[in-house]
Amino acid sequence: MSIVVVGTVGYDDVETTRGAVRDALGGSAAYFALAARFFSPVSIVAAVGSDFSSDDHRLLAERAIDLRGLERHEGRTFRWKARYHADMNRRETLSLELNVFARFSPTLLPDQRRSDYLFLANVSPELQTRVLKQVASPKVVGADTMNHWIENEREGLLRLMKQLTILMLNDDEARMLTGEHNLAKAGRALVKMGPQAVVIKRGEAGVLHFSEAGVFAAPAYPVEEVVDPTGAGDTFAGAFMGYIARMGKVNEAVRRAAVVYGNVVASFVVESFSLQRMSALSWEDIAERHRAYNELTDSQPPRWTSP
């Protein structure tokens, strides 16, 4: 039930209306792993540079994240700078430096090759495919993608999709990949393109989950203090995949419950900059918000039926 995640581990400069951070630990694999660890052992496959701090390494290692696959190369770590608008659903990427990640070509460890659960975070379809080929017989393969790959590596992405169990992407990406503006239609079209299930992430509008069994709509937990939305999608993915790995099987009921945990855990990450909230999170925090989420979405609340 261990999960392997391939993605970035890097440093972010992020500015929002609530403040700014520089050189903050980030990257899709870091966010993913810090969420998944609550549900399942998780192993990061990524590369960092010689500037990667031992404190950050320790932060991940102390939280039981397997870092044997975190390669250290000469050079600088992956870096990303972004600024969010007052409407935190919108942001501008100010700069992106792949640095050592540009020449990253991982060779998975023997036990990673036998993994049942694999998540291909938002890297090139070519790299995602190269990693997937090394895993012998995964039970569940999830992947994220983005507009850049949809525009520039469409064929590779379409081939990869046929091998996926679960595809995650945001609403604009779903529209771009299918050419369909309507999300209900886009979701149905995506399921026909290969994955058993498709999760369309809509920020504060929540998540739509599509499969042959139908559509599941899960609202976002309404967070009162959104400080930094960075990593919400990767955190969602980590909790979602983590829950599935913990259950040891995947069907519609498991995926829907996993979507709920994805929303619950992602609601924490946005409450502070970078991974601050995630690195201090406890299982009790998650359980409490899971109860709150169930109340939030309960259309037949028995305890409120008195006049």
Query: Is 102 in a helix, a strand, or coil?
Result: helix
Radius of gyration of the chain (CA): 18
Tell me phi and psi for residue 222, to 5 degrees.
-75, 95
Measured CA to CA, the distance from residue 18 to residue 226 in angstroms comes to 8
CB of 186 to a copy of itself, least distance (A): 10
State how far the Cα of 196 lies from the Cα of 177, in Å rounded to an integer: 17
Under 8 Å between Cβ of 218 and 207? yes
Q: How far is the CB of 254 from a copy of itself (least distance, A)?
A: 8
Please give the Cα distance from 56 to 60 (Å, whole number).
7
Nearer to a copy of itself, 56 or 171 (CB): 171
Token pair, residue 241, equals 């995949």
Report in angstroms how near the CB of residue 127 gets to a copy of itself at its nearest.
31
Give the x/- contact pattern for a copy of itself in 246-275, rule: CB under 8 A: ---x-xxx--xx-xx---------------
Candidates 236, 245, 121, 140; CA nearest to 196 is: 140
Q: Does 239 bind a copy of itself (CB under 8 A)?
A: no
Q: Which is nearer to a copy of itself, 128 or 178 (CB)?
A: 178
Half-sphere exposure of 136 (CA within 13 A, CB side): 8
- In the shown chain, the binding pattern of residues 145 to 184 toward a copy of itself, with x for contact by CB under 8 A and - for none, equals ------------------------------------xxxx
Q: Which is nearer to a copy of itself, 18 or 22 (CB)?
A: 18
Q: Select 76 or 255, whichever has its Cβ closest to a copy of itself.
A: 255
Name beta bridge partners: 215: 210
> For residue 103, which amino acid is it?
R
Structure tokens at 167: 């595809």
- The one among 20, 51, 58, 87 contacting a copy of itself by CB under 8 A: 87
Among residue numbers 192 through 231, which ones bind a copy of itself (CB under 8 A)?
Answer: 202, 204-206, 208, 213-220, 222-226
Q: Closer to a copy of itself at the Cβ: 57 or 202?
A: 202
Which residues of the chain form contacts with a copy of itself (CB under 8 A)?
A: 86-87, 181-185, 187-188, 202, 204-206, 208, 213-220, 222-226, 249, 251-253, 256-257, 259-260, 294-302, 304-307
